[in-house]
């Protein structure tokens, strides 16, 4: 299995974080993840609410690129329907160049408040797919001529192209069955977030199985793509400590999202939709998750209301006592 870290960038008012020092904490986590041997560090893009402190991931990732050497850097995800795809291709090509070819590029559609805020209709999957096609053409060829429903581009050239050829890896955000289907048809590796899209771990397995069937049916049999799933995570030396820390971290996080994702931390813990415990319990839970067909586990350990020391310790315990069992 592969293992990554994911910062979504929640900045709840009760955390009382100064934004500059909060960013510094995030960069400390990126450097620590590289030292511990995580495969990739992912950054979310959000706008308008408490999750929106990384509205421009390429800006953040460019700094991360210059303070690391090996760890891959991913965006989870670039909200393409809100952005000009040529501009996106240029921005993220710069990240790939600055990092020496370490970009992983995730794409998705965004949340309902973001759709409303940017004036984009909710039924925008076709717009997303067009945007992907433009970005991939720009990266492959350095020039774009494209006539679609949403984008008409006539011979635009890029001055910056990625180091990775023909393109950096592209990951497709998957929540609904429809998004798993599109990813399978196009042969993309996937990024899921089960708490937001599944009632149980069994449902994760059903969606992954459907995705793999679509992959094979669409002629992608030779591929063994990354099947990534993101879990809110905290691991500590004892079960009691892990539960205590996780409640401190996740109770306010999920409470702030209750109108969009109507489940509390305690419900999600009981349903197995968060990854919390001592190393032994986390190993058992990851075994269950692996049974769904997931081969890439991405940990969301960063929460504004949890002390930095506890986040760094959780990262270390996971890397040293849990991850080696699956590599």
H or E segment and range at residue 74: strand 72-79
DSSP structural state of residue 119:
T
Pairwise CA distance, residues 196 & 260, whole Å: 9
Q: What is the pLDDT of residue 113?
A: 84
Q: Which pLDDT value is given to residue 257?
A: 80
pLDDT at 108: 96
d(CA 155, CA 146): 8
At residue 256, the pLDDT reads 85
Which pairs with CB-CB distance under 8 Å and at least 24 residues apart come from 252-259? Answer: 252/12, 252/14, 252/305, 253/10, 253/12, 253/303, 253/304, 253/305, 256/10, 256/12, 256/49, 256/50
- Three-state DSSP class for 46? coil
* Crossing angle (nearest 10°) for helices 125-141 and 85-98: 50
pLDDT digits 0-9 by tens, 23-36? 999 999 999 999 99
Name the residue among 219, 254, 299 with its Cα closest to residue 51: 254
Residue 278 φ then ψ, to 5°:
-80, 175
Query: Measured between alpha carbons, how far is residue 93 from residues 238, 246, 270 in Å?
Result: 43, 37, 42
Distance of CA 90 to the CA centre of its chain: 21
Instruction: Give this prediction's pTM.
Output: 0.96
pLDDT at 248: 94
Quickly tell me which residue has 């350095």 as its tokens: 142
Domains of the chain: 39-169 (3.20.20.30), 174-327 (3.20.20.30)
pLDDT at 224: 83
pLDDT in tens, 216-242: 999 997 678 999 999 999 999 999 999
Determine the pLDDT at residue 205: 98
Contact 11, 22 (CB under 8 A): yes
In degrees, to the nearest 5, what angle opens at C-alpha 109 toward C-alphas 107 and 114?
Answer: 130
Count of beta carbons in the 10 Å neighbourhood of residue 112: 10
Contacts of 9 (CB under 8 A, 6+ apart): 26, 43, 44, 46, 51, 52, 53, 54, 302
pLDDT at site 19: 94
Give the mean pLDDT per block of 10 residues along the chain (327 residues): 96 90 97 99 92 93 98 98 97 99 97 88 91 98 97 97 98 96 97 95 97 95 89 98 97 84 92 98 98 98 96 99 98
């Amino acid at each position: 299995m592969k293992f990554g870290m994911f910062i979504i960038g929640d900045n709840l008012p009760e955390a009382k974080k100064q934004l500059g020092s909060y960013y510094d904490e995030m960069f400390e986590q990126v450097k620590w993840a590289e030292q511990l041997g995580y495969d990739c560090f992912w950054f979310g893009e959000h706008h308008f609410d408490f999750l929106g402190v990384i509205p421009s991931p390429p800006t953040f990732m460019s700094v991360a690129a210059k303070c690391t050497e090996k760890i891959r850097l991913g965006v989870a995800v670039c909200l393409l329907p809100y952005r000009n795809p040529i501009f996106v291709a240029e921005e993220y090509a710069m990240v790939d160049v600055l990092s020496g070819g370490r970009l992983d590029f995730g794409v998705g559609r965004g949340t309902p408040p973001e759709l409303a805020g940017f004036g984009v209709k909710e039924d925008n999957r076709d717009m997303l797919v067009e945007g992907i096609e433009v970005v991939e053409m720009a990266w492959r060829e350095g020039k774009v001529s494209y006539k679609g429903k949403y984008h008409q581009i006539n011979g635009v050239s890029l001055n910056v192209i990625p180091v990775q050829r023909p393109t950096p890896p592209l990951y497709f955000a998957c929540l609904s069955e429809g998004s798993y289907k599109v990813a399978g048809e196009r042969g993309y590796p996937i990024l899921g977030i089960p708490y937001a899209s599944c009632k149980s771990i069994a449902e994760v397995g059903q969606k992954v199985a459907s995705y793999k069937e679509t992959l094979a049916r669409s002629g992608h049999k030779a591929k063994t793509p990354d099947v990534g799933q993101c879990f809110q995570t905290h691991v500590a030396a004892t079960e009691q400590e892990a539960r205590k820390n996780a409640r401190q971290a996740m109770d306010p996080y999920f409470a702030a999202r209750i109108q969009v994702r109507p489940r509390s931390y305690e419900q999600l813990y009981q349903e197995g939709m968060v990854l919390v415990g001592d190393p032994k319990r986390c190993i058992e839970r990851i075994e269950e998750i692996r049974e769904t067909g997931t081969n890439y586990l991405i940990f969301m350990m960063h929460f504004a209301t949890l002390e930095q020391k506890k986040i760094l310790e959780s990262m270390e315990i996971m890397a040293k006592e849990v991850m080696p069992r699956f590599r």
